[in-house]
Amino acid sequence: MSHDAPTDESLAGRFRPIFARIAEGAAERDLKRELAHEPIRWLAEAGFGAVRVPRAFGGLGGSVEQHYDLLIELAEADSNLPQALRSHFGFIERLYAEVDPARHEPWLRRIAQGAIFGNATTERGDHAIGQLDTVVRQHAEGWHLNGEKFYSTGSLYADWIQVTARREGHPPTPQDHQTFVVVPATAAGVTRVDDWTGFGQRLSASGTTRFDNVALEEDQIFSYRRTGPTPMTAVFQLTHLATLAGIARAIVRDAAAFVRPRKRVFSHGAGQVPAEDPLVQQIVGQLSATAFTATASVRAVARTLGAADRARQRDGQLPADLLTQAELETAQAQVGVVDAVLQAGTRLFDVGGASALLEARGLDRHWRNARTLASHNPTPYKARLLGDHAINGTGPAFYWTVGTRAA
The model's pTM: 0.95
Question: Is CATH 3.40.50.300 what the domain over 231-392 is classified as, yes or no?
Answer: no
Contact indicator for 312, 92 with CB cutoff of 8 Å:
no
Closest C-alpha to 85, from 44, 113, 57: 44
Architecture category of domain 8-116 in CATH? Orthogonal Bundle (1.10)
Give the three-class secondary structure for 163.
strand
Fold of 122-225: Butyryl-CoA Dehydrogenase, subunit A; domain 2 (2.40.110)
Same fold, 122-225 and 231-392: no
Look at 126-135, 277-286, 307-316 and tell me which has the smallest mean pLDDT: 126-135
The model's pLDDT over 284-303, given as tens digits with 9 standing for 90+, comes to 999 999 999 999 999 999 99
Residue 1 confidence (pLDDT): 45
Q: Where are the domains of the chain?
A: 8-116, 122-225, 231-392
Contact indicator for 204, 157 with CB cutoff of 8 Å:
no
The model's pLDDT over 229-287, given as tens digits with 9 standing for 90+, comes to 999 999 999 999 999 999 999 999 999 999 999 888 888 888 889 899 999 999 999 99
Strand pairing partners for 190?
A: 211
Task: Report whether pLDDT(48) > 70.
Answer: yes
CA 91 to chain centre: 12
Give the three-class secondary structure for 236.
helix
Give the three-class secondary structure for 133.
coil
Higher-confidence residue: 300 or 127? 300
User: Phi and psi of 214, rounded to 5°?
Assistant: -75, 125
* Phi-psi domain of 217 (left: phi exceeds 0; alpha: psi -120 through 50; beta: other): beta
User: Phi and psi of 377, rounded to 5°?
Assistant: -135, 85
Segment 204-226 mean pLDDT? 94
Task: Report whether pLDDT(215) > 70.
Answer: yes
Q: How far apart are CA 135 and CA 180, in angstroms?
A: 10
Segment 139-153 mean pLDDT? 93
